[in-house]
């Protein structure tokens, strides 16, 4: 070996010498790479086969390879989504010109799809996997990565959790599989499996990842695709791959955006004049005396037009054959709710060096971000709906920071404030400084070693980490009404305000190692691809405790412990076999054995197998020559997956926990902090979902029309359900144990079409439709026909009021309500409900199940038209069959809320004028009057772009775009926004309408 290398070095120096010697005689190859429409393909790579010599096409599609000796070369031009094209050229005395005209790969069938622990060509997929790459992403002011694919994937619903800066989304793949554990899919970024737990001070975990760094999303939907991820796969898996470096000349990409966000719709409430009229008509003299003269539109006061900037710069290229990509980004986002903002600086580095004749490939990614945010007090949103519009913003005196507040009639009151009345919305916003400072880094180093003695065998090792620190402060001045004179010390002196801190650190580590053997067995016309591996994941969080302190530094309470460190670990062994026969019949089998620290040793390990079969019908002789049908594949898969997210870490074994100081008990003269036995369930184990999936992939006209149809049936058993424990038999009357069963079934349909292809005009459309229903099939250990399910869905109005039930035989979280009786005028009659069981009294036995919050149908539609240098794209989404409980109507739109029995006036939903409800009883809040059809059609995004092509003397290319997000919503829903996660609409942060102007420069 030593000898061998000596020779190589000698050869190297010899070549070097020769190349120097013949420098004057070197040749070059140059040319242009264009697509099927003769448009240049910047970034396309041209490689001299058998070497590392390559060049990337510049913005005009021009590549140049220099320093070549005379001879014959095979050049291969390649570009993602296009069929690679080899060309052979012989250069003698002159430089050569070789142009390439790449054709789109037949609906990207040769596209590489990232799956768990490996990749596969799209045409060889056996499971249900959808890939969305950067060219198909949603555009505009996207600050959280998952929004990039909203509406793009059949079976995946992405609902943003409101419009706050950086707000995350609720992602559901095929509706999710759980009731009480997590329904969030597993997200893997460059091999790092993320924890779904949030980070203190970050609006959402994904918000710390710069969407501009993302290359593709792979959504693994059925069990045969996800089962390799075993215990965390029941809710689907989303694999995010970031952009990588390329060989060749450095390419610089600069993107800048400015966006203007505005409130799209106010909650309709009474104006000052309307409230005056209402109170005069309905209120006692005492209430009428409370009216003021103002006409304040509180919603107008709390919202603003927010201007944000997002700038991103990336450089990708090869440094001495070391492909790299470096990017930096800076986001400055303002919220439409005044005072809120998010500033995020992010950077990422990717290098992919190769060693030992490409036997070793390294893929190193480091991403970092630092954000500073101020969270606007979202309590102001509800307060703006219910604060009396006849009152001014400012009181005219200095008390409470000058803000008008409801005062107590009792002059000796400690705070002077009316107890339980809402506080001035502007005061809530401006007198709360909730600032966070979050740093996060995600990185991995993946090594792939192709064995020297057996090149078909690869060893792949991946180390990953996800480290973050979130900390922040909450400061409220002592003058603020929200915490005015909130604490009385031992000397009877009152202290107000808040000066508190919080801090959490997280270190999640990943280690994965697998061996991969892939071999074409020509003798039997087969190919095998085997993976076997081991993985270790550790999720450790450290939450620090801080005292509760007033503005002047008085300690209100001290934490029981300086910190808590919840941690859980997973150990896994996994394997996969892909077998292909005659390039027509594909078999996949996977198996994974997972161990989790969250279960007792008895139930700690579980095995999750899957199997799938695919038949490439198109490859059969009877179809091979069919010109119309370009692809036809049948897929059938079955697999078991598991679920343990969302469970407490240690609840399988008995522990005692110490109470806080404020929950001590006095015996004699001593106050004791109490040891409470914690409820535990030693029998707790994995939730298991069994999914059957049948799918067809199709393509027509050489892929101009393509898509897939999938049908699935997912049965989850041993659902971790919150069950009521027989009283007296446990330390809690409810705990989470494996008790339920649930069935999810659905059909997904996706189609994309290149409607028009011509020299000047191209038009692509994509459409997907999903039908999904779920049904709870078991909820208790013993079937009880009289069981009324488990209550979920807490709503505002009364203490502990819930509006939904998980109920056997019904969809998850169905609404459980009284049936409202209506008068001849069509208006609801106050406190009159249908006596559904006919027993002459209206009580909870008359509650009934009415509708569900999950949509039955989800549609997504994208259209992209290119005319010469113009580009027009729209994305639309629709949900139908989903219902929402209008909690804004029910908690504010009644006389009893407006004329508050505690002796102050509230504003309320303008619905009160229409319904005339009084709402003084305890049943109004449970009326089906408030359950409303929330089906909708939304245009998420419309964008218009113009590509200037070459500018700056052909050294750069420039494009600009204008974009509107949240363009319109068509719905019959009576609240502000029908898109409500979980089905309860109660003053969410409104999603703004955003106008974005962007500029992209490449050179």
C-alpha–C-alpha distance, residues 43 and 63, integer Å: 9
Phi, psi of 318 (to 5 degrees): -120, 130
* Distance between CA atoms of residues 982 and 980, nearest Å: 6
Stretch that binds other proteins, among 86-94, 317-325, 455-463, 474-482 (CB under 8 A): 455-463
Hey, is 4 helix, strand or coil?
helix
Residues for the chain: how many in total? Answer: 1003
Say if CB 585 and CB 615 are below 8 A apart: yes
Cβ of residue 454: shortest distance to other proteins, in angstroms? 15
Residues 810-849 interacting with other proteins (rule: CB under 8 A): 841-845
Of residues 523 and 799, the one with the C-beta less far from other proteins: 799
CA angle 90, 92, 53 (to 5 degrees): 60
Question: DSSP secondary structure string, 573-634?
Answer: EEEEEEEEETTTEEEEEEEEEEEETTS-GGG-EEEEEEEEEEEEGGGSHHHHT-SSEEEEEE
Residue number, 260 or 445, with CB nearest to other proteins: 445
* In the complex, least distance from residue 961 CB atom to other proteins, rounded to whole angstroms: 43
Q: Which residues pair with 368 in a beta bridge?
A: 347, 441
Count of residues engaged in binding other proteins, rule: CB under 8 A: 119
Q: By CB under 8 A, is residue 552 in contact with other proteins?
A: no
Interface pick for other proteins out of 285, 524, 782, 824 (rule CB under 8 A): 782
Q: Which of 28, 83, 560, 933 binds other proteins (CB under 8 A)?
A: 560
Three-class DSSP category at 282: helix
Q: Which of 569, 576, 566 is nearest to 511 (CA)?
A: 569
Site for other proteins in 181-220 (CB under 8 A): none
Whether the CB-CB separation of 859 and 891 falls below 8 Å is answered with no
Q: Judging by DSSP bridges, how do beta strands 984-985 and 883-886 pair with one another? A: parallel
Q: How far is the CB of 565 from other proteins (least distance, A)?
A: 4
Nearest to 187 by CA among 197, 202, 175, 174: 197
Q: Which is nearer to other proteins, 131 or 541 (CB)?
A: 541
237-242 and 186-189 strand pairing: parallel
Measured between alpha carbons, how far is residue 120 from residues 28, 182, 191, 620 in Å?
36, 29, 16, 21
Q: Name the one range near other proteins by CB under 8 A: 267-275, 307-315, 500-508, 777-785.
A: 777-785
Does 226 bind other proteins (CB under 8 A)? Our answer is no
Beta carbon of residue 120, minimum distance to other proteins (angstroms, whole number): 24
Contact status, residue 183 vs residue 235, Cβ threshold 8 Å: yes
In 3D, which of 913, 930, 945, 908 has the Cα closest to residue 983? 930
Element containing residue 252 per DSSP (H, E): strand 251-262
> Quick one: 319 or 675, whose CB is closer to other proteins?
675
> Alpha-carbon distance 983 to 932, whole Å?
10
Give the footprint of other proteins on residues 614-673 (CB under 8 A): 649-650, 654-669, 671-673
Smallest gap from residue 838 Cβ to other proteins (A): 15
Whichever of 100 and 117 has its CB closer to other proteins, that residue is 117
Site for other proteins in 298-357 (CB under 8 A): 355-356
Q: Which stretch binds other proteins (CB under 8 A): 35-43, 296-304, 306-314, 568-576?
A: 568-576
Query: Residue 485 Cβ, how far from other proteins at the closest point, in Å?
Result: 8
Which helix (H) or strand (E) is 225 found in, with range?
Answer: helix 223-226
Q: Which is nearer to other proteins, 672 or 870 (CB)?
A: 672
Q: How far is the CB of 480 from other proteins (least distance, A)?
A: 15
* Cβ closest to other proteins, residue 90 vs residue 284: 284
Q: Which of residues 882-901 bind other proteins (CB under 8 A)?
A: 896, 901
Show the binding pattern over residues 845-874: x = contacts other proteins (CB under 8 A), - = does not. Answer: x-----------------------------
Closest separation in Å from C-beta 471 to other proteins: 19
Q: At closest approach, how far in Å is the CB of 186 from other proteins?
A: 19
* Among positions 310, 363, 430, 681, the unique one binding other proteins when judged by CB under 8 A: 681
Near other proteins in 925-944, by CB under 8 A: 925-926
Per-residue interface string for the shown chain with other proteins, residues 146-185, x marking contact by CB under 8 A: ----------------------------------------
Question: What angle is formed at CA 173 by the lines to CA 170 and CA 175, rounded to 5 degrees?
Answer: 85
Distance of closest approach, residue 161 Cβ to other proteins, in angstroms: 23
Q: How far apart are CA 55 and CA 250, in angstroms?
A: 10
Site for other proteins (CB under 8 A): which residue of 254, 465, 563, 581?
A: 563
Restricting to residues 503-542, name those near other proteins by CB under 8 A.
509, 511, 513, 534, 536, 538
β-sheet with 237-242: strand ranges across: 129-133, 214-220, 237-242, 186-189, 192-193
C-beta of 716: minimal distance to other proteins in Å?
21
Comparison of 617 and 898: residue with beta carbon closer to other proteins: 898
**Cα-Cα-Cα-Cα dihedral sign, residues 939, 940, 946, 950:** negative
Residue from 67, 86, 566, 823 in contact with other proteins (CB under 8 A): 566
Q: Which helix (H) or strand (E) holds 13?
A: helix 2-21
Name the E strands within 92-128: 96-97, 100-101, 112-115, 118-121
Q: How far apart are CA 653 and CA 731, in angstroms?
A: 12
Q: How far is the CB of 81 from other proteins (least distance, A)?
A: 33
Figure out which of the listed residues 786, 824, 825, 838 binds other proteins, where binding follows CB under 8 A.
786
**Strands 27-34 and 62-68: what pairing?**
antiparallel
**Binding segment toward other proteins, per CB under 8 A, in 220-228, 251-259, 555-563, 931-939:** 555-563
Interactions with other proteins, residue window 702-741 (CB under 8 A): 722-735
CB of 910 to other proteins, least distance (A): 21
| Strand ranges in 341-496 using DSSP code E only, listed in sequence order | 341-351, 354-355, 360-374, 433-450, 457-476, 487-488, 494-495
Longest dimension (CA), the chain: 107
With respect to other proteins, which residue has the nearer C-beta, 783 or 825? 783
Least Cβ distance, residue 906 to other proteins (angstroms): 14
Question: Does residue number 880 form part of the binding site for other proteins (CB under 8 A)?
Answer: no
Compute the least distance from the CB of residue 137 to other proteins, in Å. Answer: 34
Kind and range of the H or E element at 886? strand 883-886
Residue 675 C-beta: closest distance to other proteins, Å: 4
Residue 797 engages other proteins in binding (rule: CB under 8 A): yes
State in angstroms the smallest separation of the CB of 599 from other proteins: 8
Nearer to other proteins by C-beta: 133 or 509?
A: 509
Among 678, 786, 684, which residue's Cα sits nearest to residue 736?
684
Task: Tell me if 92 contacts other proteins by CB under 8 A.
Answer: no
Smallest CA-to-CA distance from 148 within 239, 216, 236 is with 216
For residue 382, give the nearest of 304, 296, 298, 486 by alpha carbon: 298
Question: Min. distance of Cβ 420 from other proteins in angstroms?
Answer: 7
Rounded CA gap, 904 and 898, in Å?
Answer: 8
258: β partners:
309, 997
Per CB under 8 A, which of residues 376..435 are in contact with other proteins? 408-410, 412-415, 417-420
- Interactions with other proteins, residue window 682-701 (CB under 8 A): 682
Residue 489 Cα to chain centre, angstroms: 45
Indicate the residue among 656 and 867 with the shorter CB distance to other proteins. Answer: 656
Which 577-596 residues touch other proteins, going by CB under 8 A?
Answer: 595-596
Cα 707 to the chain's mean position, in Å? Answer: 24
Q: Within 10 A of 414 (CB to CB), how many other CB atoms are there? A: 12
Task: Name the one range near other proteins by CB under 8 A: 82-90, 106-114, 303-311, 785-793.
Answer: 785-793
């Amino acid at each position: 070996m030593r000898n061998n290398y000596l020779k190589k070095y000698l050869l190297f120096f010899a070549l070097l010498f020769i190349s120097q010697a013949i420098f004057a005689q070197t040749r070059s190859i140059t040319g242009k790479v264009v697509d099927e429409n003769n448009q240049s393909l910047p970034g396309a790579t041209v490689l001299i086969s058998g070497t590392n010599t390559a060049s990337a096409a510049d913005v005009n599609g021009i590549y140049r390879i220099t320093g070549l000796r005379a001879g014959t070369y095979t050049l291969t031009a390649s570009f993602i989504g296009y069929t690679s094209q080899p060309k052979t050229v012989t250069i003698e005395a002159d430089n050569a010109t070789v142009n390439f005209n790449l054709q789109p790969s037949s609906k990207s069938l040769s596209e590489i799809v990232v799956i768990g622990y490996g990749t596969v060509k799209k045409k060889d997929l056996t499971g249900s996997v959808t890939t969305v790459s950067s060219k198909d992403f949603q555009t505009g002011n996207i600050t959280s990565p998952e929004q990039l694919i909203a509406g793009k994937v059949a079976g995946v619903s992405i609902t943003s959790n409101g419009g706050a800066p950086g707000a995350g989304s609720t992602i559901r793949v095929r509706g999710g599989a759980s009731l009480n554990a997590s329904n969030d899919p597993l997200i893997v970024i460059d091999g790092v499996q993320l924890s779904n737990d949030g980070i203190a001070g970050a609006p959402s975990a994904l918000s710390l990842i710069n969407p501009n760094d993302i290359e593709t999303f792979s959504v693994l939907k059925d069990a045969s695709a996800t089962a390799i991820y075993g215990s965390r796969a029941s809710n689907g898996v989303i694999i995010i791959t970031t952009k990588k470096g390329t060989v060749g000349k450095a390419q610089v990409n600069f993107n800048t955006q400015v966006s203007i966000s505005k409130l799209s719709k106010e909650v309709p409430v009474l104006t000052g004049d309307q409230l005056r009229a209402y109170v005069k008509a309905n209120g006692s003299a005492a209430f009428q005396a409370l009216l003021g003269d103002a006409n304040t539109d509180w919603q107008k006061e709390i919202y603003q037009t927010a201007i944000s900037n997002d700038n991103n710069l990336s450089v990708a290229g090869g440094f001495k054959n070391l492909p790299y990509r470096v990017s930096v980004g800076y986001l400055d986002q303002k919220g439409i709710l005044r005072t809120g903002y998010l500033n995020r600086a992010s950077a990422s580095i990717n290098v992919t060096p190769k060693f030992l004749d490409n036997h070793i490939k390294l893929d190193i990614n480091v991403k970092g971000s630092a954000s500073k945010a101020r969270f606007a007090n979202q309590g102001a949103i509800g307060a703006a709906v219910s604060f009396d519009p006849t009152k001014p913003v400012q009181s005219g005196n200095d008390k409470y920071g000058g803000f008008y507040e409801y005062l107590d009639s009792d002059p000796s009151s400690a705070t002077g404030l009316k107890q339980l009345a809402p506080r001035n919305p502007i005061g809530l916003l401006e007198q709360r400084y909730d600032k966070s400072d979050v740093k996060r880094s995600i990185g991995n180093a993946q090594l792939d070693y192709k064995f020297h003695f057996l090149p078909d065998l690869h060893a792949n090792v991946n180390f990953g980490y996800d480290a973050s620190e979130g900390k922040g402060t909450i400061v409220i001045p002592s003058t603020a009404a929200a915490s005015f004179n909130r604490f009385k010390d031992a000397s009877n002196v009152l202290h107000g305000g808040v000066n508190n801190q919080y801090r959490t650190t997280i270190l999640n580590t990943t280690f994965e190692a697998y061996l991969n053997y892939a071999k074409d067995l020509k003798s039997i016309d087969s190919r095998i691809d085997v993976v076997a591996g081991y993985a270790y994941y550790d999720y450790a969080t450290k939450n620090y405790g801080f005292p509760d302190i007033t503005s002047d530094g008085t300690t209100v309470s001290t934490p029981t412990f300086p910190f808590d460190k919840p941690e859980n670990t997973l150990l896994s062994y996994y394997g996969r076999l892909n077998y292909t026969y005659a390039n027509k019949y594909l078999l996949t089998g996977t198996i994974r054995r997972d161990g989790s620290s969250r279960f007792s040793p008895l139930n700690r390990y579980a095995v999750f197998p899957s199997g799938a079969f695919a038949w490439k019908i198109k490859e059969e002789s009877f179809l091979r020559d069919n010109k119309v049908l370009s692809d036809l594949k049948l897929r059938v898969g079955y697999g078991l997956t598991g679920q343990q997210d969302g469970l407490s870490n240690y609840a399988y074994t008995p522990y005692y926990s110490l109470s806080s100081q404020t929950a001590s008990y006095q015996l004699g003269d001593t106050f004791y902090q109490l040891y409470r036995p914690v409820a535990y369930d030693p029998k707790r184990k994995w939730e298991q979902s069994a999914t059957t999936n049948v799918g067809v992939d199709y393509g027509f006209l050489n892929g101009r029309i393509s898509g897939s149809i999938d049908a699935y049936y997912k049965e989850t058993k041993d659902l971790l359900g919150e069950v009521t424990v027989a009283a007296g038999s446990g330390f809690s009357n409810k705990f989470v144990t494996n008790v339920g069963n649930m069935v999810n079934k659905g059909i997904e349909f996706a189609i994309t079409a290149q409607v028009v292809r011509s020299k000047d005009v191209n038009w692509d459309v994509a459409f997907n439709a999903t039908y999904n229903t779920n049904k709870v099939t078991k909820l208790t250990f013993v079937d009880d026909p009289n069981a009324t399910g488990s209550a979920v869905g807490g709503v505002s109005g009364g203490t502990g009021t819930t509006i939904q039930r998980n109920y056997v035989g019904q969809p998850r979280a169905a609404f459980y309500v009284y049936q409202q009786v209506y008068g001849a005028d069509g208006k609801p009659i106050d406190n009159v409900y249908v006596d559904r069981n006919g027993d002459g009294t209206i009580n909870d036995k008359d509650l009934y199940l009415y509708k569900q919050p999950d949509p039955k149908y989800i549609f997504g539609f994208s259209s992209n038209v290119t005319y010469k240098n113009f580009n027009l794209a729209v994305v639309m989404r629709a949900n139908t069959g989903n219902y929402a409980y209008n909690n804004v109507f029910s908690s504010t739109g009644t006389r009893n809320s407006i004329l508050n029995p505690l002796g102050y006036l509230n504003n309320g939903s303008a619905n009160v004028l229409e319904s005339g409800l009084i709402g003084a009883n305890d049943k109004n809040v449970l009326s089906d009057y408030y359950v409303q059809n929330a089906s909708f059609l939304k245009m998420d995004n419309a964008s218009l772009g113009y590509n200037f092509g070459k500018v700056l003397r052909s050294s750069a290319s420039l494009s600009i775009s204008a974009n509107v997000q949240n363009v319109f919503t068509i719905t019959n829903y009576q609240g502000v926004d029908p898109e409500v996660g979980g089905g309860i609409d109660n003053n969410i942060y409104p999603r703004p309408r955003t106008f974005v102007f962007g500029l992209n420069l490449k050179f």
